[in-house]
Structure 1
């Protein structure tokens, strides 16, 4: 029997993340794209076609829910709120959110730079850490933490492209992409944002916090030890 759910499972890799990192026993994925559901099943994972923004699952039916690089693919902010709301509703212990860091987009643009994922056509929602916090406040979530993950100190990092780079690129390569200005960043720039919504004291906190290179941005409620 599954003890966690994965919203937007794609090929199932984030289900494996739930097992390896968050110490779940068995997860099932939910994805609106039948091809991705088929891909997850072909890789040996349980997955169903469904809309996690409008979900018909019982309250508290899993220990935790993952939204791993999922919310940025939704069409607008209201959908992200519904997805998070449903994740909280079906989970008993915690909800784990991870996605690209979009908070630095304006700052990078002012330097003639961008993250390579910031203009992917598949990233329709540039969800910022502050917006995640606002959603959690609107949902009256009493206990949460929001982190920036993997600090990027300068534009030498290969995730950084010049603004003139074409859309839908991957890591910057000198031979392939245009020249970029090399500057040290004077404000925090991260690769990912991570959110943890705590729903119970009965949880192995160290497992849930297991990802390295985290820097706390926001925290509310109990500080679990």
Structure 2
């Protein structure tokens, strides 16, 4: 099936879920395993990643998520897992979030690395590893998500939303925390390569920001809770 044929099938309602920025297919596996959707389609711009995803048995549309038009209410749910941080700026992220909401009937789910703790870590001479990667130009904070989603809610694009955190980081010795002197592209702390860092307890620091967006009255945040893998909600829209 060609990309155009798959896109036509998507627009005709032939899939249950849409994974925006599907990469190599790992997030699509998560959608199937965690949420129980059988008919999942992904959108990604990278030919190499799409090739690997297809080799894994996934259905992919090779397209720019910012530019592609998929239609309205064509799937039950949309997923943006570790994707928005790869976009050039918050403007493109807002565009894709709006598209995802309009394309879905019930809910949209977002996960990305936490960037908001770096101000605190900086005081300790530390930072998150992912916060300086060139592949992460769009480093949205929870306040950024609130700003974007509040505006979309005001436009009637969504019903309600929640913002939270997943996977707490208990100490500065976690491998995702590096000294400021480490290479900007370093993925994890290595005591043989990097300067020593202080061993200190941390509170309120997490690996991920998690967002759940309700689009219709049928969506129940509490019922969906066990599937969302969220440790703490910090904002609930009213």
Give the TM-score taking structure 1 as reference length: 0.92
Q: Which residue of 1 aligns with 2:10?
A: none
Deviations 1:92-126 (A, max 9, x none): 01000000000111111121001111111111111
Q: 3-state DSSP class of the match of 1:6?
A: strand
2:210 touches 2:230 (CA, 8 Å); kept in 1?
A: no
Counterparts of 1:211 and 1:64 in 2: how far apart (Å)? 13
- Offset, 1:203: 4.2
Q: Which residue of 2 aligns with 1:125?
A: 138
Q: 3-state DSSP class of the match of 2:35?
A: coil
Deviations 1:16-37 (A, max 9, x none): 1111112222211101122222
Counterparts of 2:224 and 2:194 in 1: how far apart (Å)? 39
Identify the range of structure 1 (207-216 vs 83-92) with the bigger mean alpha-carbon deviation: 207-216
Q: Which residue of 2 aligns with 1:139?
A: 152
- Offset, 1:54: 2.2
Counterparts of 1:212 and 1:57 in 2: how far apart (Å)? 28
Counterparts of 2:40 and 2:220 in 1: how far apart (Å)? 17
Q: Which residue of 2 aligns with 1:171?
A: 188
Q: Which residue of 2 aligns with 1:99?
A: 112
1:162 touches 1:181 (CA, 8 Å); kept in 2?
A: no
- Offset, 1:127: 0.9
How many residues align structurally? 220
Q: 3-state DSSP class of the match of 2:78?
A: strand
Q: Which residue of 2 aligns with 1:155?
A: 172
Is 1:28 matched up with 2:28? no
Is 1:112 matched up with 2:125? yes
2:164 touches 2:230 (CA, 8 Å); kept in 1?
A: no
Counterparts of 1:146 and 1:181 in 2: how far apart (Å)? 30
Superposed CA RMSD:
1.6
Deviations 1:134-171 (A, max 9, x none): 10011124311111111223202221111111122222
2:106 touches 2:218 (CA, 8 Å); kept in 1?
A: yes
Is 1:197 matched up with 2:213? yes
Judging by fraction of residues, say which structure has more helix: 2
2:163 touches 2:209 (CA, 8 Å); kept in 1?
A: yes
Counterparts of 1:11 and 1:133 in 2: how far apart (Å)? 29
Is 1:217 matched up with 2:234? yes
What runs of 5+ residues in structure 1 fail to find an aligned partner? none
Q: 3-state DSSP class of the match of 1:139?
A: helix
Counterparts of 2:67 and 2:81 in 1: how far apart (Å)? 18
- Offset, 1:213: 5.0
